[in-house]
């Protein structure tokens, strides 16, 4: 599990850079573009400090097929934060999953 903090929250340029993957009991995120393409991860905890506009989250990387370094990597933290911001901005509490995220969904993960 990794704990990260992203300074000022900025809207990502696009939400086509990731997809949500339904697991047996959870939803995962797969990066589809850029230097972190292929990483599959899950957000574990999320909090937002309104006074400082700071988003904090923890995550667990499930698959990293290219062995990309993510620990203490500011670019990775920013990417994961941008994706999370996009997901939050879509307000998943009011719409169904497919409408909410505007992304493609993969078939459920097969247990390993």
**Which residues make beta-bridge pairs with 60?**
42
- C-alpha–C-alpha distance, residues 15 and 13, integer Å: 7
Query: What does the block give as tokens for 93?
Result: 């509490």
Cα separation of 106 and 30, whole Å? 9
Closest CA to 55 of 11, 5, 1, 12: 5
Q: Pairing state of beta strands 18-22 and 105-106?
A: parallel
Distance, CA of 15 to CA of 1 (rounded, Å): 24
Per-residue pLDDT reduced to its tens digit, 60-101: 999 999 999 999 999 999 999 999 988 887 755 544 444 434
Highest mean pLDDT among 5-14, 28-37, 79-88: 28-37
The pLDDT assigned to 104 comes to 44
Q: What is the chain's Cα-based Rg?
A: 14
Annotated domain spans of the chain: 2-100
The pLDDT of residue 16 is 80
pTM of the model: 0.68
């Amino acid at each position: 599990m990794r704990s990260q903090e992203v300074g000022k929250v900025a809207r990502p340029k696009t939400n086509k850079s990731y997809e949500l993957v339904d697991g047996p009991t959870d939803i995962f995120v797969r990066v589809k573009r850029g230097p972190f393409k292929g990483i599959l991860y899950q957000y574990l905890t999320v909090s937002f400090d309104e006074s400082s506009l700071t988003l904090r989250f923890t995550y667990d990387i499930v698959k990293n097929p290219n062995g990309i370094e993510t620990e203490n990597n500011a670019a990775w933290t920013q990417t994961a934060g941008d994706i999370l911001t996009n997901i939050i901005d879509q307000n998943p509490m009011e719409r169904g999953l497919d409408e909410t995220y505007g992304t493609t969904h993969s078939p459920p993960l097969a247990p390993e």
